[in-house]
Chain A
Amino acid sequence: MERDAAARAWLEILLRVRADAGRYFEAEMEATRRRIEAVHRAPVTHDVEPAGAPRLRRSDD
């Protein structure tokens, strides 16, 4: 896909990952595309805190 090629170019520039990354994994890329769409269709609002916030404790405990 054209858009994938652009994304791969960014990967190469920003993360120094080889530009051909992903070319062997078309089925997995397609599944990932579907999952990205599904996640963005899910009805969550900005009030919902993402999981993974820091777990803090007092250092003198």
Chain B
Amino acid sequence: MTEPYALSLSDAAAAVSERRLSPVDLAESTLGRIEQVEPRVRAWARVVAEDARRDAERLAAALRAGAVTGPLHGVPVGAKDIFYTAGLETSCGSPLMAGFVPAHDATAVARLRRAGAVLLGKTHTTEFASFDPSPARNPWALGHTPGGSSSGSAAALAARMCHGALGTQTSGSIVRPAAFCGIVGLKPTFGRVSRYGVHPLAWTLDHPGPMARTVRDVAVLLEVIAGPDPHDPTTLGAPPVPRYAAALDAGNAGPRARPRVGVPDRYFLDGVDPEARAAYRAALDGLSNLGADVREVRLPDLFEAGMDAHEIIHNVEAAAVHLDRYRDHTAEYGEKLRACIETGLMVPAPTYVRAQQVRTALTAAMDEMFGNIDVLATPAAKGPAPEGLASTGSPVMNKPFSFVGFPSLTVPCGRTRAGLPLGLQLAARPFDELTLLSVAHAYEGATARTPDAPPL
């Protein structure tokens, strides 16, 4: 019998709501798993076991009284340690934030709680969600990075220490760690999920999003955390949130019987290692076998300039976020974030504006390109998780979609001979997460119904 901690989020939620599993037993099983493997994986900045037990008991009592709080009733989750949590330390992977206890929850955290989730604690992030690594390790190979910056969320999910988690992506910080750890991560459209209560790295590039072990699990989480929030004006113009999971269950989520899958003509195979390249080709064949119309598409001429503009905007905004603190605490910043801040300070203001113009132009050109396809398929990373813990790997495959704000996700597409996971990245037009989820769900269903677990 499957241990409760190993259940997918959807299966755990169903077992609880159908009274086959108590929220208390689920929480105890998952906390027991943390006790067992966390000393090796180091995914958590802090675990709040007593709070989690108290919440689980409250939810168990509610269930006995006939009340199901929401779609996550009793489901244990984690939140990256840049999401504010009321009364719970949020240290953003930096000694500068040690002891900071927010007075309120981030909107995404509040929505998880409102849906009945049990927050087990805060997962490790790289320093301020940038590139200086956290202590987290890759559960598939403890000497390899789990990726970043949502390092702990990805590692905790792969190691079965929670059933769902929150991450954020400014360049590649959801999709890359999810791919390296063999799970599913979705970066929503900019404006789909509120940034309120998330410590910024670069305001116009930051995307909070869900991470889990299956596509359906991610759909459930997205449905819970998405939607307008008066605290984040970028969410107010978004279309209504679809019922993602129900649409997947009904099998009518796709835009058409034969989705058009674009294969980019350049950029996304530069420097990709042979095993990842072979897995990507096999994934395209898999999509084709599922009935997809796989066709090459030409990326816009401005694409490469857009990637330069991304770095300019990223570093300038990071410098603006940190300037006041940085003056007096330079030595307490990690080297990689220091480099971001200091180069950001040196960029002339007209260059920043120009970079935002390039962004407008590339966004329009990408939108036009998506007129001929439903999803774009690429490798999720240049290869498997690199060996060593000093670097979290490269976000080059993921940052194009952070830059234009289009939704993207990764779904596992095999493992290397050494046993490390590889991911297939899919992207879609703005606010079309449903198409993304539908294609990924079909692919996942044809390749691996039961997600692999690392040999811990």
Contacts and interface: CB of A to CB of B under 8 A. Distances in A.
Interface of A: 4, 7-8, 11, 15-18, 21-22, 24-25, 28-29, 31-32, 34-36, 38-44, 48-52, 55, 57
A17 B333 CA distance: 14
A37 to B, nearest CB: 9
Given A38-B308, A39-B305, A25 B360 contact: no
B338 A38 contact: no
B268 interface: no
Interface string B347-372: 11001011111111101000000000
Contact of B309 (A17, A25, A31, A39): A39
The range of chain B's interface size is 35 or more
Given A36-B312, A55-B237, A50 B356 contact: yes
B311 A35 contact: yes
B230 to A, nearest CB: 9
A44 B357 contact: yes
Interface of B: 204, 233-234, 236-237, 302, 304-305, 308-309, 311-312, 315, 323, 326-327, 330, 335, 338-339, 342-343, 345-348, 351, 353-361, 363
A49 B357 CA distance: 6
Contacts of B236: 55, 57
Contact of A7 (B233, B346, B353, B361): B346
Chain B contact residues: helix, strand, loop or mixed: helix
Given A35-B311, A39-B309, A25 B351 contact: no
B351 to A, nearest CB: 5
19 contacts: A7-B346, A15-B327, A15-B345, A17-B327, A21-B330, A28-B339, A32-B315, A35-B308, A35-B311, A36-B347, A36-B348, A38-B308, A39-B351, A39-B358, A42-B309, A44-B358, A49-B357, A51-B363, A57-B237
Contacts of A42: 302, 305, 309, 354, 358, 361
Contacts of B360: 44, 48-51
A15 B322 CA distance: 12
Nearest to A35: B308
Given A24-B338, A35-B309, A42-B358, 19 more contacts: A11-B346, A29-B343, A31-B343, A34-B308, A35-B311, A35-B312, A36-B312, A36-B351, A38-B305, A39-B308, A39-B354, A40-B351, A42-B361, A44-B354, A44-B361, A48-B361, A49-B357, A52-B204, A55-B234
B312 A39 contact: yes
B339 A25 contact: yes
Contacts of A28: 339, 342-343
B415 to A, nearest CB: 33
Most buried by A among B237, B330, B360: B360
A34 B357 CA distance: 18
Given A25-B339, A55-B233, A57-B236, A18 B308 contact: no
Contacts of A41: 305
Contacts of B359: 50-51
